[in-house]
Structure 1
Amino acid sequence: MTAVIVGLGPMGRGIARVLDKAGIPVRVVDLTPELGRAGLERIQAEASADGETVSITAADDVETALGGADLLIEAVVEDMAAKRELLARVAAAGGPNLLAASNTSSLSVSEMGRAYGSPERLLGLHFFNPPTKMRLVEVIVGAATDDASVKRALALVEQLGKTAVICKDSPNFIVNRVCRPLYYEAQLLVSQGVEAAVVDAAARGGLGHRMGPLQLLDFTGLHTHLASSETALREFGDPRYRPIPQVRGLVRGGMTGRAVGRGFYDYAKESPREANQRVLRVPGPASELSVQSEWLGLEGELTVFRCGAPTPDKVSTLKRLAAGGDVVLDSSDGGWLGALPHGVGWIHLHKRPDGALFAEVVDDPAANVEVPPIVDRLLDQLQAPSVRVLALPGLVVDRLAYCMTNEASTVVEEGTASARDVDVALRLAMNHPRGPFENLAAAGIDTVYAGLRSMTDAFGDPRYRPSQLLRRQALGLVRAR
């Protein structure tokens, strides 16, 4: 096999190195012969910095590079007109068995297939940045891509030592689409009064994410995210994909993230790491406190009342317990705001995949929700780090997780990707400890469905409406009981 890489930005250079390392002869091309040679020099320098050598060659133009080639991967600018122009040249110069692939992260592979003229031999190979280190490749199947081309692509990804997931051509594919509500909800939480550092610390502590969603947006650039949000809204035509106004305001003000020193964080004042540490309460020495809770497997002077949505019976029970001693409510359901007895603490405990506990503590002066001293004693006893959050439906952690799971469910429902591939994609591309469906299994379908319905009722926003697949699964559980 001989491969041609067109476009020598960071992605094209990285993909070329990945193919070369797998023993595949690689020719690289850019807009001009001079840019092609300069790109090759950068590839050689980057490989040398990593203690590697490459045997890649540069060609003066696409037509020359394609002689005898079996594979072409284009990584030119994310502009459909530019890609259409390139593919027309490739179609004219390439052989009848040439497999053409685009590294696009957002544009329609099916549309490119039509431009290519042989849509059965065109698909997407979406590598993640940096290609030399990231293990995932999304194989994007266009409307007319044939099975033989998909098999060739899967074999190539395996030869590269990477993991492939299959996705039908759809806006944002798998990873960027399923993560979209993670970013949207993080932004909305800030617009509703939650500090950015609290959102990120909660995502890291409760979900095990290596980087909070707002820090990640600052890193990649809010202008880039806003542009992709506009595309998602246009492509799907669904109001739940609409951009968040606060981000539009930041971009208009030139506050696009880390590169300019200001986004969701003000980098002149403190780094995201420092801000996250500032809002995180680290537990003190374990207190001598005995706790009664079926979930924690303990019994004693403090009752932890763990439940979902409030009902008249649950509210009555909680009031009775509160009259007899210290009680802490453990729930993320926003319905408790109107039913929480005075003096009862409100938290939500999370058990991460690694077994560590993390807590959200509701502290909301506007809602007259205070934190009684018994809450900190409980968290010391459990050795659970915590952040303080507002009394918003879903709080922070469940709101982020449930909305991601709902989007993942929609992706599966419409046949864009399988549940297995969604989970693999999110673990490998985002370093999430669990994929959305693994989170769904851990939380329970009925719990997630009820949480989404509660947020839909509380916010009155179609963003939170459960997918029909999730609804059917939740009601199916009820019918099976």
Structure 2
Amino acid sequence: MTENIRIDEVAVIGAGTMGMGIAQVAAQAGHLVLLYDANPAQTARALEDFASRLAGRVTRGKLSEPDASALRARIRPAESLSELAGADLVVEAIIERLDIKQQLFAELEGICGDRCILASNTSSISITAIGAALSRPERLAGLHFFNPAPVMKLVEVISGLATEPAVRDTLLALARDWGKVAVHASSTPGFIVNRIARPYYGETLRALQEGCGSPQLLDTLMRSGGFPMGACELTDLIGQDVNFAVSSSVYRAFHDEPRYRPSLVQQALVDAGRFGRKSGQGFFAYQGGKAVLDTLPAPAERAPARVVVQGDWSGLKGAEALLARFPGELERRDGSPALLIDGVRVELTDGRSCALRHPGQAAMALDWADDYEAVSHIALGVSEYCSDQQVAAVTGFFQRLDKQVLLLSDHPGMLVLRTLAMLVNEAAEACLHRVASAEDIDLAMRFGVNYPKGPVAWGAEVGYRRLLSLLDNLRALYGEEKYRPSLQLRHWASAEAAA
């Protein structure tokens, strides 16, 4: 194969939620789709449910009856694999077991034409490993949709070791024709999204394990930091059992790489059967499908007696504009950026705990915000050397700037900046290992998990040198290789310094 392959007829194997969703996407793009499931009753149920959803859209005026009828007609049930012989593309969306997928594709090789592309919707199994059972692995690739397939924009196209460029290019072009954002990745554990997203869950789970704050407080902080959901509510939505299984799978696939080590906090939830929304209890309890949340406690506050603004805060977006709001008197002093409030030193976290950064002194760490003037919450890590009166004075200072204050324990690197550093580091490692391009990584994380920015671009805004320093400090503090910076991150930081 030296050029893109024409795709007319599409076959989907597996009539579950994902398989039916993929069939719908292909049919909406005008393809004739054959839907096959080893259980014919499942195929019938899937098509009945699909027809019912279309009828609902017609009733609500979202779709015309002729269009609904044409769409229904383009998806046909297949009673046997042999009926897929004329397909130009076969997409498998069945159980995540290597042996079963290998057996299925080996059987399809004897049924489908030589120019038929075979694709797996697997989210975690190596395309190279699946292809090892085939006589022509060059026509096999991954075509990973995100659930729900008709709604989610991202599709990962995965090349195994033998996948031909024409197969890759055909699938990328096809996914884009279907209205998707298509990215390319090599066949490594987790591909792009499920690999790079691990720190987003892992750092919150570690913060919980180390007593940094409650699930609700940490979720509030992450939303204020720009993420659409906090890690606790998101894993409850995904299913704690499902998220834990993916983390465990990625960890094993990378030969126990410390960056992916699963969390004991999450394992305890799984062991207890607290899977999240679907079981009615996870990090949160659920009633009527909604989390039962407490009102976050408002920390005590009092007016600060003296506030000194040390150094230049213009390097943090919105910080100077925020400080200009203060209704009282602000003293100015040269030095490294810090606020001195009633004897408490407040400065941006750098990956060290306050107690180790300023031994014996009253200090607080400020977590990262993309825009300090616009953000709703200010998060502070409180050193053990701060008195209650000092905490109330610092809280009062930020309350007078119209900010809600989140008080955390003295957690090194806090949460938002620490999580960002780990996400950027994981993206850098994926670039270094040629898993995907920086551009595709950023697209994948924006459209696959709805991050406000791609990690590579986000890291450039925050500053690669800042993030590198934070990781170096975390690595030294914990003595763990989990926080070792990627060689690529060091290169990016070096280029930033030279610019």
The TM-score normalised by the length of structure 2 is: 0.85
Retained in 1: the 8 A contact 2:309–2:333? no
Residues 455, 33 of structure 1: CA spacing in aligned structure 2 closer, same or farther, 3 A cutoff? same
Q: CA deviation at 1:117?
A: 2.4
| Match of residue 236 from structure 1 | 254
Counting only pairs closer than 5 Å after superposition, residues 240-279 of structure 1 correspond to structure 2 as: 240-267=259-286, 272=291, 274-275=293-294, 278=296
Partner of 2:3: none
Structure 2 residue aligned with 1:435? 454
Which of 332, 336, 348 is the aligned partner of 2:349?
332
Out of 447-456 and 189-198, give the one that drifted further: 189-198
Structure 2 segments unaligned to the other structure (5+ residues): 1-7, 314-318
Which of 416, 426, 441 is residue 435 of structure 2 equivalent to?
A: 416
Larger proportion of helix: 1
| 1:301 partnered with 2:301 | no
Query: Aligned partner of 2:19: which letter?
Result: G
In the other structure, the counterpart of 1:309 is none
> Following the alignment from structure 1 to structure 2, what is the Cα–Cα distance between the partners of residues 246 and 239?
16
Query: Partner of 1:450 in structure 2?
Result: 469
Contact 1:141–1:169 (Cα < 8 Å) also in 2: yes
In the alignment, the residues of structure 1 paired with residue 354 and residue 333 of structure 2 have an alpha-carbon distance, to the nearest angstrom, of: 12
User: Residues of 2 paired with 1:302 and 1:114: CA distance?
Assistant: 68
Residue 149 (str. 1) matches residue 167 (str. 2): yes
Would the alpha carbon gap of residues 171 and 357 (structure 1) be closer, same or farther in structure 2, given more than 3 Å must change?
same
- Map of 2:40 onto structure 1: 33
Q: Percent identity?
A: 32
Contact persistence 1:351–1:358 (CA under 8 A)? no
- Aligned AA for 2:480? D
2:92 matched to which residue of 1?
74
**Aligned-partner Cα distance in 1 for 2:231–2:111:** 44
Deviation of 1:98 after TM superposition, in Å, equals 0.3
- Is the Cα–Cα contact under 8 Å of residues 289 and 377 in structure 1 kept in the other structure? no
* Residues paired across the two proteins, number: 464
What is residue 47 of structure 1 aligned with on the other side?
Answer: 54
Q: For 2:275, give the aligned amino acid.
A: T
Change (3 A) 1:202 1:369: farther
**Cα distance in 2 between the residues matched to 1:173 and 1:369:** 48
C-alpha distance in 2 between matches for 1:100 and 1:354: 51
Name the CA shift for 1:182/1:190 in 2 (closer, same or farther; >3 Å): same
Deviates more, 1:44-53 or 1:155-164: 44-53
Of residues 18, 24, 29 in structure 2, which corresponds to 1:11? 18
Aligned with 2:237 (options 201, 206, 219): 219
The secondary structure found in structure 1 opposite 2:184 is strand
Partner Cα distance (1:155, 1:270) in 2: 39
Distance 1:101 1:110 in 2: 12
CA contact (8 A) 1:135 1:429 kept: yes
Q: Partners in 1 of 2:139 and 2:344 — Cα distance?
A: 64
Equivalences for residues 95-106 of structure 1 within 5 A: 95-106=113-124
C-alpha distance in 2, partners of 1:87/1:214?
38
Mapped to 1, the partners of 2:26 and 2:373 lie a distance apart of: 35
1:184 equivalenced with 2:202 (yes/no): yes
Cα distance change on mapping 1:175 and 1:281 into 2, 3 Å: farther
Q: CA deviation at 1:344?
A: 5.1
Aligned partners of 1:136 and 1:49: how far apart in 2?
26
Mapped contact 2:354–2:364 kept (Cα < 8 A): no
Task: Flag the 1:290–1:111 CA change in 2: closer, same or farther, 3 A.
Answer: same
- Using the alignment, how far apart are the partners of 1:160 and 1:219 within structure 2? 27
Deviates more, 1:290-299 or 1:71-80: 290-299
Question: Is the 8 Å Cα contact of residues 303 and 327 (structure 1) preserved in structure 2?
Answer: no
Paired with 1:25 and 1:282, the residues of 2 have a C-alpha distance of 64
Superposed displacement of residue 78, structure 1: 1.1
1:201 alignment counterpart:
220
Gaps in structure 1 of 5+ consecutive residues? 307-312
Amino acid at match of 1:376: T
Would you say the 8 A contact 1:171–1:232 is kept in 2?
yes
Query: Structure 2 CA distance, aligned partners of 1:4 and 1:69?
Result: 6
Q: Secondary structure at the match of 1:263?
A: coil
8 Å Cα contact 1:255/1:262 also seen in 2: yes
Change (3 A) 1:331 1:270: farther
Identify if the C-alpha distance between structure 1 residues 268 and 42 changes in structure 2 by more than 3 Å, giving closer, same or farther: closer
- 8 Å CA contact 1:331, 1:348 repeated in 2: yes
Give the whole-Å Cα distance in 1 for the aligned partners of 2:372 and 2:329.
29
Relative to structure 2, which stretch is displaced further, 114-123 or 403-412?
A: 114-123
Residues 126, 363 of structure 1: CA spacing in aligned structure 2 closer, same or farther, 3 A cutoff?
same
> In structure 2, what is the equivalent of residue 310 of structure 1?
none
**Alpha-carbon distance between aligned partners in 2 of 1:368 and 1:93, rounded to the nearest angstrom:** 72
How far has the Cα of 1:349 moved from its partner?
Answer: 5.1
